[in-house]
Amino acid sequence: MKVIKNIIVKGKHGKPIVTDVFFKEDKRPKNLLIFCHGYKGFKDWGAWNLMATAFSNLGFFFVKFNFSHNGGSIEQPIDFPDLEAFGNNNYTKERDDLQSVIDWVVTSSDFKNEVNCADISLMGHSRGGGTVLIKAAEDRRITQVISLAGVSDYGSRFPKKEDFKKWVETGVFYVKNGRTKQEMPHFYQFYEDFKLNEEQLNIQRSTRNLKIPQLIIHGDSDTSVSIKEAALLQLWNPKSTFKVIQKADHVFNVSHPWQKETMSQELEEVINTAVCFLKGQS
């Protein structure tokens, strides 16, 4: 298996998109699967590398990347050395970053014999689950879409009442990262961009408009994103497939850092479910 880490993909917003690819180098076109991390996430979080290896061993050309403004850097793609970039992130930038990664893979001469550009699937975790649904609804090249513990809307996640008023007044709202202990800034542009592009960033509208197979995976012990949000996604697209992972939390019972050589049983179930779906067996 070939693994190429920390490839620099040029995006639309002035910062690089640090990208990894995993694939069997056999000059046979493989189904392309692109993964988007979630809020306060990054491509090397937890067991995501084990997940990438598993998908590539099963015949997929697997791509994962850091959103350009996720707070990481080329030199330190893990964690959040660039809080200024984190504060300037927004949903539009993440949507554009995903577009840039798709365009890069399908046009790269390095992978022309390894990628089947007629079979492009997107998979996103948490906030990334919303990003892939929006992109899948608007990009005709996408053939299948998967959300893992995905959100059903963005608007309800902004600060409210006094917190929102303070955000407007000061221009910045902080969220503490429980693991790194950093105070993570969100500049007010985050909300302004959402309101400016609210129609395009509507996950409900995108889900209703999907014309391709959709898989929804959610743990029944998720305390970060309620399983009720997964039920809403299925309600909006009754043709979708909904898989509940028993006793799984928001990250399917893995954590960061993940030192084990094997992933959790729950994440294995996620991968098995996704592979069956992508190969048309679900």
pLDDT above 90: percentage of residues in the chain = 99
**Distance in angstroms (rounded) separating the CA atoms of residues 9 and 188:** 27
What phi, psi does 27 have (nearest 5°)?
Answer: 60, 30
Domain-by-domain residue ranges, the chain?
2-154+198-278
What was the pLDDT predicted at 214? 99
Evaluate if residue 76 carries a pLDDT over 70.
yes
What was the pLDDT predicted at 282? 54
Q: Which CATH superfamily is domain 2-154+198-278 in?
A: Alpha/Beta hydrolase fold, catalytic domain (3.40.50.1820)
Tokens 């309620």 identify what position? Answer: 226
String of DSSP letters for the chain: -EEEEEEEE--SSSS-EEEEEEE--SS--EEEEEEE--TT--TTSTTHHHHHHHHHHTT-EEEEE--TTSS--SS--SS-S-HHHHHT--HHHHHHHHHHHHHHHHH-GGGTTTEEEEEEEEEEETHHHHHHHHHHHH-TTEEEEEEES--S-SGGGS--HHHHHHHHHHSEEEEE-TTT--EEEEETHHHHHHHHTTTTT-HHHHHHT--S-EEEEEETT-SSS-HHHHHHHHHH-TTSEEEEETT--TTTT--SS---SS--HHHHHHHHHHHHHHTT--
Mean pLDDT in the chain?
98
**Average pLDDT, integer, range 171-181:** 97
pLDDT above 70: percentage of residues in the chain = 99
Query: What is the pLDDT confidence band of residue 200, given thresholds at 50, 70 and 90?
Result: very high
- Pick 145 or 281 by higher pLDDT: 145
Class of residue 39 by CB neighbours under 10 A (exposed 0-12, middle 13-18, buried 19+): middle
Q: Report pLDDT digits (tens) over 224-270.
A: 999 999 999 999 999 999 999 999 999 999 999 999 999 999 999 99
**Average pLDDT, integer, range 19-36:** 98
**Average pLDDT, integer, range 103-127:** 97
